């Protein structure tokens, strides 16, 4: 069979065709295909500008716009004929335009280089994806709020060092993740402002001799700003790095949530029951119900971190301005977009079906000296310096350990052996619920504080 050899855009300068190994090695088509519709969108705006500036005639512009529209339909229907010789999506679309229009198709690339074109595509793409990821964060936040409202009175142990520390509300614990996601959304928003800058018109690296109007293109494509330095424009991938970094932090948050779900689903904790539809069995051990979904959420964080490092490493040491190394920005970017969207989607779907074992949670918050700080703060209220109070309660705890007793079980007479400041009102305080509700400091775990936060969230604050 005769290999179909497509003439390259740069064939004028070259005596020989590309080696097939080079074609395969340098091609980005397999992954930058996903930019196709953004490439068309950018070309439409570019073409309009060329007509407005009289660089193209109105008739030429109309032909090109029609050609682009029919290519768009082929792309949407999945009938666009990709060729192995198409080096990237930009060349594929331009080649198709020439097939449809003949030489006039070759006028679209006037005053444009793939170096600024590819950035336009990526910026348009990323702008949409950031908005989509922000919406997914919001859906997950909504599920956390719903669960928090459902568990407005459920107490559980709060931990430091993975040791039971003080009782907290389950709602407070869940809303901690709400706050993380709130920061993630804000970070993505800030990143989006730096994505939203028009690169087109930087040309290959130095601008163009032709009388283009970059600000007009920016208006057509709703870019609030136009980039300032053509060299910087074609070399810059900061906005991708920032996005990958924001996603790395987001993935880290989701991984911490996933880790807690894994722990809580274990028989050791038994705080939650995972829904069957989101768990998997073992091929060998019939009794197993494994938390594979949160485990994969945790595991996929590795590639999201890796993508950030891959791009930083590509950029390190690149001289100005464009270098082909920069093509390596896309796979990490696309992989992070897909991974983060997948993780957010599955967590949002799973969370409403997780059963919290409120009896187990409360039981774990009782005993175990979780109320020791409360007793020390009781003595402080009676006028004792905190350090002294800390020491006295430490002694009570040691005595309880020796006598195999819990703080909640001591009689007033026993308490008074350690300090005459203990009075009958102490005993009523020694429940997890009372301990929670006394932590009324702003942002604390008391029901009034958690309710205040839930109200503010409801009002969009
Ligand atoms: N596929 C290339 C990329 O992703 C487009 C720019 C190519 N420019 C060039 N001078 N070869 O970076």
CA distance 234 to 67: 27
Indicate if 41 and 125 belong to the same structural domain: no
Ligand 1 atom nearest 330 alpha carbon: 4
Q: Ligand 1: does its nearest atom lie under 6 Å from the Cβ of 10?
A: no
Indicate if 393 and 353 belong to the same structural domain: no
Indicate if 155 and 273 belong to the same structural domain: yes
Question: Does residue 425 fall inside a structural domain?
Answer: yes
Q: Ligand 1: does its nearest atom lie under 6 Å from the Cβ of 27?
A: no
Q: Where does a domain end: 341, 363, 385?
A: 363
Q: What is the CATH number of the domain that holds 71?
A: 1.10.275.10
Question: Does residue 415 fall inside a structural domain?
Answer: yes
For residue 81, the model assigns a pLDDT of 97
Tokens of 179: 């706050």
Among candidate residues 148, 156, 176, the one with its CA nearest the CA of residue 264: 156
Question: What's the whole-model pTM score?
Answer: 0.94
Among candidate residues 19, 193, 70, the one with its CA nearest the CA of residue 123: 193
For residue 281, the model assigns a pLDDT of 79
Question: Does residue 5 fall inside a structural domain?
Answer: no
Indicate if 209 and 338 belong to the same structural domain: yes
Alpha helices in 324-444 (DSSP H): 330-350, 358-365, 372-381, 386-403, 412-416, 432-437
Q: Where does a domain end: 42, 77, 110?
A: 110
Answer whether the bond into residue 321 is a cis peptide, omega within 30°. yes
CA–centroid distance, 223 to ligand 1, in Å, is 22
Per-residue pLDDT tens listing for the chain (461 residues): 344 456 777 778 887 888 889 989 999 999 999 999 999 999 999 999 999 999 999 999 999 999 999 999 999 999 999 998 899 999 999 999 999 999 999 999 999 999 999 999 999 999 999 999 999 999 999 999 999 999 999 999 999 999 999 999 999 999 999 999 999 999 999 999 999 999 999 999 999 999 999 999 999 999 999 999 999 999 999 999 999 999 999 999 999 999 999 999 999 999 999 998 888 877 777 787 899 999 999 999 999 999 999 999 999 999 999 999 999 999 999 999 999 999 999 999 999 999 999 999 999 998 889 999 999 999 999 999 999 999 999 999 999 999 999 999 999 999 999 999 999 999 988 999 999 999 999 999 999 999 999 999 999 87
Kindly write down the DSSP assignment for every residue of 95-135, as one continuous string.
Answer: HHHHHHHGGGGGGTTTT--HHHHHHHHHHHHHHHHHHHHHH
Domains contained in the chain, number: 3
Indicate if 446 and 327 belong to the same structural domain: no
Indicate if 183 and 319 belong to the same structural domain: yes
Q: Ligand 1: does its nearest atom lie under 6 Å from the Cβ of 324?
A: yes
Q: Ligand 1: does its nearest atom lie under 6 Å from the Cβ of 89?
A: no
Indicate if 401 and 287 belong to the same structural domain: no
Indicate if 227 and 133 belong to the same structural domain: yes
What does DSSP say about strands 155-160 and 163-169: parallel, antiparallel, or unpaired? antiparallel
Ligand 1 atom nearest 118 alpha carbon: 5
Indicate if 36 and 168 belong to the same structural domain: no
The crossing angle, in degrees rounded to 10, of helices 170-195 and 114-150 is 160
Question: Does residue 8 fall inside a structural domain?
Answer: no
Indicate if 61 and 153 belong to the same structural domain: no
Question: Does residue 194 fall inside a structural domain?
Answer: yes
Q: Ligand 1: does its nearest atom lie under 6 Å from the Cβ of 114?
A: yes
- Domain hosting residue 420, numbered range: 366-460
Let me know how long the chain is.
461
Q: Which residues are catalytic?
A: 161, 282
CA–centroid distance, 87 to ligand 1, in Å, is 9
Q: Are 241 and 62 contacting, i.e. CB atoms less than 8 angstroms apart?
A: no
Question: Does residue 187 fall inside a structural domain?
Answer: yes
For residue 3, the model assigns a pLDDT of 46
Sign of the CA dihedral with 377 first, then 382, 386, and 389 last:
negative
Q: Ligand 1: does its nearest atom lie under 6 Å from the Cβ of 88?
A: yes
Q: What is the CATH number of the domain that holds 380?
A: 1.10.40.30
CA distance 395 to 436: 24
Q: What is the DSSP letter of 88?
A: S
Question: Does residue 260 fall inside a structural domain?
Answer: yes
Q: What is the CATH number of the domain that holds 353?
A: 1.20.200.10
Q: Whose CA is nearest to atom 4 of ligand 1?
A: 327
Indicate if 284 and 258 belong to the same structural domain: yes
Question: Does residue 12 fall inside a structural domain?
Answer: no
CA–centroid distance, 80 to ligand 1, in Å, is 21
Ligand 1 atom nearest 87 alpha carbon: 1
Rg (CA), the chain: 31
For residue 2, the model assigns a pLDDT of 42
Question: What are residue 275's phi and psi, to 5 degrees?
Answer: -65, 140
CA–centroid distance, 452 to ligand 1, in Å, is 53
Q: Where does a domain end: 41, 76, 110?
A: 110
Indicate if 38 and 69 belong to the same structural domain: yes
């Amino acid at each position: 069979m005769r290999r179909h050899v497509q003439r390259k855009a740069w064939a004028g300068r070259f005596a020989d065709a590309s080696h097939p190994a080079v074609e395969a090695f340098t091609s980005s088509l397999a992954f930058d295909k996903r930019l196709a519709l953004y490439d068309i969108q950018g070309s439409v705006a570019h073409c309009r500008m060329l007509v407005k500036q009289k660089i193209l005639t109105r008739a030429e512009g109309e032909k090109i716009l029609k050609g682009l529209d029919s290519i768009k339909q082929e792309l949407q229907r999945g009938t666009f004929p990709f060729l192995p010789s198409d080096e990237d999506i930009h060349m594929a679309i331009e080649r198709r335009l020439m097939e449809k229009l003949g030489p006039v198709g070759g006028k679209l690339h006037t005053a444009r280089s793939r170096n600024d074109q590819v950035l336009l595509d990526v910026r348009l793409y990323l702008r949409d994806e950031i908005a989509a990821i922000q919406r997914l964060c919001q859906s997950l936040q909504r599920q956390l709020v719903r669960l928090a409202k459902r568990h407005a009175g459920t107490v559980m142990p709060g931990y430091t060092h993975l040791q039971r520390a003080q009782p907290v509300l389950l709602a407070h614990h869940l809303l901690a993740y709400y706050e993380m996601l709130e920061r993630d959304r804000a970070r993505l928003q800030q990143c989006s402002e730096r994505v939203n800058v028009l690169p087109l018109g930087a040309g290959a690296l130095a601008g163009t001799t032709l009388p283009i109007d970059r600000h007009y293109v920016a208006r057509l494509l709703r870019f609030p700003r136009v980039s300032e330095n053509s060299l910087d424009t074609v070399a810059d991938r900061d906005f991708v790095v920032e996005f990958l970094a924001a996603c790395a932090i987001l993935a880290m948050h989701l991984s911490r949530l996933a880790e807690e779900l894994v722990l809580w689903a274990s028989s050791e904790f038994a705080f939650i029951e995972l829904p069957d539809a989101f768990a998997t069995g073992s091929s060998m051990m019939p009794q197993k119900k494994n938390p594979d979904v949160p485990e994969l959420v945790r595991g996929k964080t590795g590639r999201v971190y890796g993508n950030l490092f891959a791009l930083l490493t590509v950029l390190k040491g690149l001289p100005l301005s464009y270098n082909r190394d920069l093509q390596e920005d896309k796979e990490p970017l696309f992989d992070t977009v897909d991974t983060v969207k997948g993780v957010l989607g599955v967590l949002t779907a799973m969370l409403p079906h997780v059963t919290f074992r409120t009896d187990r949670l409360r039981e774990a918050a009782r005993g175990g000296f979780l109320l020791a700080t409360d007793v020390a703060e009781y003595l402080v209220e009676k006028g004792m310096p905190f350090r002294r109070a800390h020491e006295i309660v430490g002694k009570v705890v040691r005595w309880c350990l020796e006598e195999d007793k819990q703080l909640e079980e001591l009689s007033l007479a026993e308490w008074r052996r350690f300090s005459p400041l203990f009075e009958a009102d102490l005993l009523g305080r020694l429940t997890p619920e009372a301990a929670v509700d006394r932590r009324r400091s702003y942002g604390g775990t008391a029901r009034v504080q958690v309710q205040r936060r839930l109200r503010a969230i409801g009002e969009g604050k």
